[in-house]
C-alpha cells in the first residue's frame, strides 16, 4: 500500500468524523477494523461467542461458525467458500418466500427485482458494516482490510446516518465482495446448524438485513436518483408520451436538444414512466463514475430486462375483479388434476395450485404460472444446493455451482417436461408455441425414449422452449406451497422427475464421449 494512498484514507476518515459530529450518537458507526487476527484457541472461543451474540443465534456446532468466518487467505483452516455457495441459495429462497407470500399483486418481474435488491452485494455489505462481523474473520490480507475499511468509512461519510439505504444510489466505493460473502456464509452456517430449517434463518436474518426493500422504496429511489442527476449536471429533462396501438410509450430527452436518454413502452401508464426513468439511469450513469448508479441498477434488476411484469400485474387485478373460479372456494374441479397428479407422484391438498402452475399467460381466463415460476426457480435451486453440498464434501464452490446449474438448466427441465407429457395439460392459446414444443419433443425423443441427463453444453438441434422449463419450476412451486413450504417433499418428488441427476462422474463420461465423437477436437 503506497504512502499517498494511506494519507488519502486518513484524510477521508477525518472528513467522515467531522461530518458525523452533527449526527445522533446512535446513528454513527465508528468501529475501526482490527489488524488481521491471529487465532489461538482462547481468542477463537471469545470471538465465536461474541459473533453469536451479534447474530442472535447460538450454534450447536460452533465449527460451522468458525468456518463461516474464515477467509481463503488463511491457509491453515477451511475457508467459507463452500458455505457461501449454500448461503446464496438460502437467502434467495428465504426472501423469495417472503416477497411471494406478502405481495400477491406483484408480477414475476417486479418480484425478481425486489429479491435481487434485498440480497445484492451492496445490501449485504451494508448489513455487515452495521453489525461489524468482519472483525471476527480469520484472514491474512492487508489489502482486503484496507478496501473494507474504505467502504466502512464511505458508508459513514454519506452524512445522513443511514447505513442501509436502498439500492439505486450506491456508495462511492464499490462494496467489497468479501462482506457479502460473509453474510451468505453465516446464513448457510445457521441453515445447516438448524437442520436445514429455513424459518430459523429467516428469523435471524430478517432483523440483520432490515429494512427490507419494498416496491415503493424502489420506485422512490428511482425518482430520487433521476432528480439527483438533473441537479448535479444542471440538465433539462423532458418527458414525451405517446400511444402506439394499445401501448403507452414514454421517451426522455436531455438538455432540450433532442438527445434521447431513455425509452419504455407498456400497457400501463404508471409503469411506463418508471421504466423509462430506469432506462435513462442505466444508459447515462457514466456521467459520474463515483455515483455507481449503473452497478446498482443492474444489481436491482438482475438479468431481467423487464423490470416489472405488466401481464402478471394485470392478470392479478383481472382475476380479482372477475372473481374467477380459482379464487372462489368450491369452484368446479379441473378435469385433468388426477392425470397430472399421477404423472407427478404427488396428490395436492389444493388442486387449484396445480391448475395455476399449468396455465400459460396466453390463456387470459385464469391467472398464469408466472408468479409460481419465480418461486419455483429458487425452490429447485436450494433443493439441488442441499443435495450437492451434503453429498460432495470434497468439491469446491466452482464445481458445485456448475453441477447445480447443469441440473436445473432450461434444457434438462424441458426434457423432463417432455418425458412427463406435462405440456398436453397446459392451458395455452398460442399456436406458435405449440409448434415449437412439438418440434423440440420430436428432436429429443429417440425410439420413444427421452434422455434428460444430457449436459447443457452438449446441446440439441432444437432450442428448448422456455415454457417447458417454466412448467417444471411452476409445478415445483405449487408442491412447495401445497406442502407448507416443505423443501424435503419437493426434493422427494423432483429427485425422481429429474433423474438421473448429473454428477461429477456423469460429466466426465459425457465429456469423453463428446471428445470421441468430435475428431476436430483431438
Across the chain, mean pLDDT equals 77
Task: Report the CATH number that the domain containing residue 291 is assigned in CATH.
Answer: 3.30.160.20
Instruction: Using the predicted structure, report yes or no on whether residue 518 has a pLDDT greater than 80.
Output: no
Give pLDDT, residue 22. Answer: 43
292 shares a domain with 144: no
pLDDT tens digits for range 79-95: 999 999 999 999 999 99
The answer as to whether 378 is a domain residue is yes
What whole-number percentage of the chain has pLDDT above 90? 51
- Which among 268, 301, 334 is the end of a domain? 301
Sheet of 259-266, strands arranged across:
237-244, 247-254, 259-266
160 and 235, same domain (yes or no):
no
Judge contact between 111 and 134, C-beta under 8 A. Answer: no
Which pLDDT score, from 0 to 100, does residue 242 have?
Answer: 77
Is 97 inside a domain boundary?
yes
| pLDDT given at position 420 | 94
Are 207 and 223 part of one and the same domain? no
- Residue after which a domain boundary falls, among 254, 270, 301: 301
Classify residue 94: in a domain, yes or no. Answer: yes
What are the tens digits of pLDDT across the range 2-46? 556 556 655 655 554 444 434 443 333 334 444 444 445 556 677
Three-state SS across 105-146? CCCHHHHHHHHHHHCCHHHHHHHHHHHCHHHHCECCCHHHHH
Lowest mean pLDDT among 73-77, 349-353, 421-425: 73-77
Is residue 203 located within the same domain as residue 225? no
- Are 229 and 349 part of one and the same domain? no
To 10 degrees, what angle do helices 466-482 and 370-391 make?
Answer: 80
Domain shared by 192 and 276, yes or no: no
* Domain presence at residue 248: yes
More confident residue, 221 or 80: 80
Res. 168 pLDDT band, cuts 50 70 90: very low
Residues 222 and 182 in one domain: no
**Cell numbers given for 418:** 417432455
pLDDT band, very low/low/confident/very high, at 417 (cuts 50, 70, 90): very high
- pLDDT of amino acid 507: 78
For residue 401, pLDDT over 70 is answered with yes
409 or 295, greater pLDDT: 409
Q: Are 193 and 51 in contact (CB under 8 A)?
A: no
Q: Does the structure show a pLDDT above 90 at 218?
A: no
Label residue 347 by pLDDT band (50, 70, 90). Answer: very high
Domain stop point among 153, 178, 211? 211
- Any idea which of 26-40, 126-140, 288-302, 385-399 has the lowest mean pLDDT? 288-302
Residues 242, 352 within the same domain: no
Residue 481 phi/psi, 5-degree rounding, is: -70, -45
Do residues 33 and 140 both lie within one domain?
yes
Domain residues for the domain of 223 are 217-301
Tally the domains of the chain. Answer: 3
Average pLDDT for residues 175-179, to the nearest whole number?
94
Contact 155, 129 (CB under 8 A): yes
Tell me how far apart the terminal alpha carbons of the chain are, to the nearest angstrom.
47
Lowest mean pLDDT among 280-289, 346-355, 419-428: 280-289
CATH of the domain at 493: 1.10.1520.10
Same domain, 9 and 133: yes
Indicate if 344 and 491 belong to the same structural domain. yes
18 located within any domain: yes
Amino acid at each position: 500500500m503506497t504512502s499517498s494512498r494511506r494519507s488519502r484514507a486518513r484524510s477521508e476518515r477525518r472528513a467522515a468524523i467531522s461530518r458525523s459530529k452533527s449526527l445522533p450518537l446512535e446513528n454513527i458507526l465508528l468501529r475501526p477494523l482490527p489488524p488481521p487476527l491471529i487465532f489461538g484457541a482462547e481468542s477463537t472461543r471469545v470471538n465465536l461467542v461474541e459473533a453469536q451474540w451479534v447474530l442472535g443465534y447460538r450454534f450447536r456446532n460452533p465449527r460451522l461458525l468458525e468456518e463461516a468466518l474464515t477467509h481463503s487467505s488463511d491457509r491453515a483452516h477451511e475457508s467459507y467458500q463452500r458455505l457461501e455457495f449454500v448461503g446464496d441459495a438460502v437467502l434467495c429462497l428465504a426472501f423469495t418466500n417472503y416477497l411471494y407470500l406478502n405481495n400477491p399483486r406483484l408480477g414475476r418481474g417486479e418480484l425478481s427485482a425486489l429479491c435481487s435488491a434485498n440480497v445484492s452485494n451492496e445490501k449485504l455489505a451494508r448489513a455487515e458494516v452495521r453489525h461489524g462481523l468482519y472483525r471476527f474473520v480469520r484472514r491474512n490480507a492487508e489489502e482486503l482490510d484496507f478496501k473494507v475499511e474504505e467502504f466502512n468509512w464511505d458508508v459513514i461519510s454519506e452524512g445522513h446516518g443511514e447505513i442501509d439505504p436502498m439500492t439505486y444510489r450506491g456508495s462511492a466505493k464499490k462494496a467489497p465482495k468479501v462482506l457479502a460473502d460473509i453474510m451468505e456464509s453465516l446464513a448457510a452456517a445457521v441453515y445447516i446448524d438448524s437442520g436445514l430449517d429455513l424459518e430459523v434463518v429467516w428469523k435471524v436474518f430478517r432483523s440483520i438485513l432490515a429494512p427490507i426493500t419494498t416496491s415503493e422504496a424502489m420506485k422512490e429511489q428511482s425518482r430520487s436518483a433521476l432528480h439527483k442527476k438533473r441537479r448535479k449536471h444542471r440538465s433539462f429533462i423532458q418527458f414525451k408520451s405517446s400511444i402506439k396501438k394499445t401501448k403507452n410509450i414514454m421517451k426522455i430527452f436531455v438538455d432540450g436538444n433532442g438527445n434521447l436518454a431513455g425509452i419504455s413502452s407498456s400497457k400501463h401508464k404508471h409503469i411506463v414512466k418508471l421504466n423509462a426513468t430506469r432506462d435513462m439511469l442505466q444508459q447515462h450513469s457514466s456521467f459520474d463514475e463515483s455515483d455507481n448508479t449503473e452497478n446498482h441498477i443492474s444489481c436491482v434488476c438482475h438479468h431481467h430486462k423487464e423490470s416489472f411484469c405488466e401481464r402478471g400485474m394485470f392478470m392479478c387485478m383481472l382475476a380479482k375483479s372477475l372473481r374467477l373460479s380459482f379464487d372462489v372456494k368450491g369452484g368446479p374441479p379441473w378435469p385433468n388434476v388426477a392425470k397430472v397428479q399421477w404423472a407427478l407422484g404427488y396428490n395436492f391438498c389444493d388442486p387449484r395450485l396445480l391448475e395455476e402452475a399449468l396455465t400459460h399467460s396466453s390463456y387470459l381466463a385464469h391467472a398464469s404460472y408466472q408468479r409460481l415460476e419465480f418461486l419455483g426457480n429458487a425452490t429447485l435451486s436450494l433443493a439441488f444446493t442441499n443435495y450437492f453440498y451434503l453429498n460432495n464434501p470434497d468439491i469446491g464452490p466452482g464445481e458445485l455451482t456448475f453441477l447445480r446449474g447443469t441440473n436445473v438448466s432450461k434444457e434438462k427441465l424441458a426434457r423432463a417436461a417432455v418425458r412427463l407429457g406435462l405440456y398436453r395439460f397446459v392451458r395455452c392459446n398460442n399456436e406458435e408455441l405449440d409448434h415449437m414444443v412439438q418440434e423440440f419433443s420430436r428432436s429429443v425423443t429417440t425410439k420413444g425414449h427421452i434422455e434428460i441427463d444430457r449436459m447443457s453444453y452438449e446441446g440439441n438441434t432444437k432450442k428448448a422452449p422456455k415454457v417447458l422449463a417454466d412448467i417444471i419450476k411452476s409445478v415445483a412451486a405449487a408442491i412447495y406451497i401445497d406442502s407448507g413450504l416443505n423443501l424435503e417433499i419437493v426434493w422427494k418428488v423432483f429427485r425422481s422427475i429429474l433423474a438421473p441427476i448429473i454428477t461429477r462422474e456423469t460429466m466426465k463420461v459425457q465429456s469423453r464421449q463428446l471428445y470421441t465423437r468430435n475428431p476436430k477436437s483431438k
